Chains A and B, each alone.
Chain A
Amino acid sequence: MTPHVEHLLRVEAPQVLGALVRRFGHFDLAEDAVQEALLVAARTWPDEGVPEQPRSWLIRVGYRKMVDLLRADQARRRREQEAGAVELGLGEADRQPPPPPETDDSLTLLLLCCHPALSSTSQVALTLRAVGGLTTGEIAHAFGVTESTMGARISRAKQQLAQAGARFIPPTDVDRDDRLAAVRQVLYLIFNEGYTATAGEELTRVDLVQEAIRLTRMLRAQLPEDAESAGLLALMLLTDARQAARTGDDGLVPLVEQDRTRWNPELIKEGTALIDAVWARREVGPYQLQAAIAAVHAAAASPEQTDWPQIAALYLWLERLTPTAPVRLSRVVAVAQAYGPDRGLALLDAVNRRHGLDSEPLTRHRERAVRAHLAELTGDLATAARLYREAAALTDNQVERRYLLDRADRGGRHC
């Protein structure tokens, strides 16, 4: 398949699905029908050329596939002597104004795929398939599971949506903010899945990082007024900008040791402009804060030029909004960088007394590593080496373990 056709199908998939679901309901069947239509297009367009109206073509073929699926479904149901009836509540009419003909359904679809009735793994899988237009095989490959496992997960997700009575209506309800928060979380999960799975030697055909960025751009286009969605996009761009400098010959390279000339200036420019623009609106949320922190890092040509006091202040703000162990630990690091290792250690002790970062599974090993690093900076190399080894024993990540043991040995040599 040519890149042009592939791109076209990716962009059109949610629009075609939206058109079918809005008209006929049956999200689960419509979704299968769209996948089949995409396959037909992928098979025929490269040879026969792209039709003049690709979206209409896909809607027509999708509709036909949907009729086939529905007839099979209804015939089966008749055989099973089961009406497949839905009881109707005769309550107040929930009148929805008809959407304009050139409507963009991608946001409605995103909200549907991130329905609270679904687990986050289901939300992610369904979003990539229904909104991203990826095939089950591609998603399975990206997550390192078999195609049948991923297929079962997606089918189950669609059944759960049907059982939950989830409806395809534009978001006007009261829980819109919660639902949007779920959408942002799913997109960030997809991004992180792609970003941390640095299987560098194996280039997957589907780049989850790029897919997450593409979908978040789409979300932002739908909600230009939504500061947090802009913040999320800025965070992704600023994080992705460091991708090339993140790994070296011997594994992960920490932020302060990265070669900043390998950071991507276009992405930094775009991400920074985005966060600057929405920051002024004073509707700050966690994604904007994380983007702002990333922008401060990106603004420093060398680690020494980093405005650590500002980063420490941003982490304090973030900690108030999302008081999680990893955020608390990051604030400790920023404070130590801004005001010295002794002050960092004192804060770490104080935070541990109240929140136990050293026993919390999410931060246990990183707490040791941070403490080791601060001990090293105060000149207590023996303690540092011991703590680096403790941290190494607590992590499952081989790359990280190598790095920590290497630090322990380096400290040991100074003794």
Chain B
Amino acid sequence: MKYLLLSYTPAAAWDAAGADTPSDEALAAFAAYQEFAQELIRSGELVTTEGLGHPAVSATVRKGPTGVVATDGPFAELKEVLASFAVIDVASHERAVEIVTRLVDLMGEPVEIRPIMGEEFAA
């Protein structure tokens, strides 16, 4: 079954001046993460994963009194913003938690696990 993993980061971290020159620590963590991702690709459990653009380059489309409008920026101002996502396909909920535990241990930032409902739950 599939799970959507949502990785959040503090809004302030996006704006760190040093984002283009990561610390050695961050680089080491990222290398370990990539190794782990390769492992999941080999096991067939990683479906896809992508990083996301800054909320500032997002747009939100809403229905308003005058019709549908697009507004620059995210849906709401948040302290923590969605920074990346992954879709995994695993045998059980426990396995999903196990994978994410390792991810969080490596990367340090919180990850939300959302079950992807699939056909059997569709109305």
Contacts and interface: CB of A to CB of B under 8 A. Distances in A.
Interface string A63-77: 110110011011001
Contact of B68 (A26, A67, A88): A88
Given A60-B20, A61-B20, A74-B73, A66 B68 contact: no
A88 B72 CA distance: 13
Nearest to B60: A85
Interface in B44-62: 53-54, 56-57, 61
B117 interface: no
B15 to A, nearest CB: 8
B57 A87 contact: no
A74 B69 contact: no
Contacts of A61: 20
Contacts of A73: 72
Contacts of B67: 87-88
A70 B20 contact: no
Contact of A24 (B57, B64, B66, B73): B57
A84 B66 CA distance: 14
A83 interface: yes
A67 B73 contact: no
Contacts of B66: 87
17 contacts: A23-B53, A23-B57, A60-B20, A70-B54, A71-B15, A74-B56, A74-B72, A77-B72, A83-B69, A85-B69, A85-B71, A86-B69, A86-B71, A87-B67, A87-B69, A88-B67, A88-B69
- Determine the interface band of chain B, counting residues with CB < 8 A from chain A: 10 to 19
Contacts of A23: 53, 57
A64 B20 CA distance: 9
A88 B70 contact: yes
A70 B56 contact: yes
A70 B72 contact: yes
A90 interface: yes
B19 interface: yes
Contact of B57 (A67, A84, A85, A90): A67
Contacts of A85: 64, 69-71
Contacts of A84: 71-72
Interface of A: 23-24, 26, 60-61, 63-64, 66-67, 70-71, 73-74, 77, 83-88, 90
A4 B11 CA distance: 39
B54 A67 contact: yes
Contact of A88 (B20, B54, B61): B61
A98 to B, nearest CB: 16
Q: Which 10 A-B pairs have the closest CB atoms?
A: A85-B69, A70-B56, A67-B54, A24-B57, A71-B56, A88-B68, A74-B73, A85-B71, A67-B56, A86-B70
Contacts of B72: 26, 70, 73-74, 77, 84
Contacts of B61: 88
Nearest to A74: B73
Nearest to B64: A85
Given A70-B57, A88-B69, 13 more contacts: A23-B53, A23-B57, A26-B72, A60-B20, A63-B57, A66-B57, A67-B56, A70-B54, A70-B72, A85-B70, A86-B69, A86-B71, A88-B70
B108 to A, nearest CB: 22
Interface in B7-33: 14-15, 19-20
A60 B56 CA distance: 15
A90 B68 contact: yes
A87 B73 CA distance: 15
Contact of B71 (A26, A64, A83, A90): A83
B69 A24 contact: no
A153 to B, nearest CB: 25
Contacts of B15: 71
A80 to B, nearest CB: 13
A66 B72 CA distance: 13
A365 B55 CA distance: 61
A90 B72 CA distance: 18
Nearest to B62: A85
Contacts of B64: 85
A87 B68 contact: yes
Contacts of A77: 72
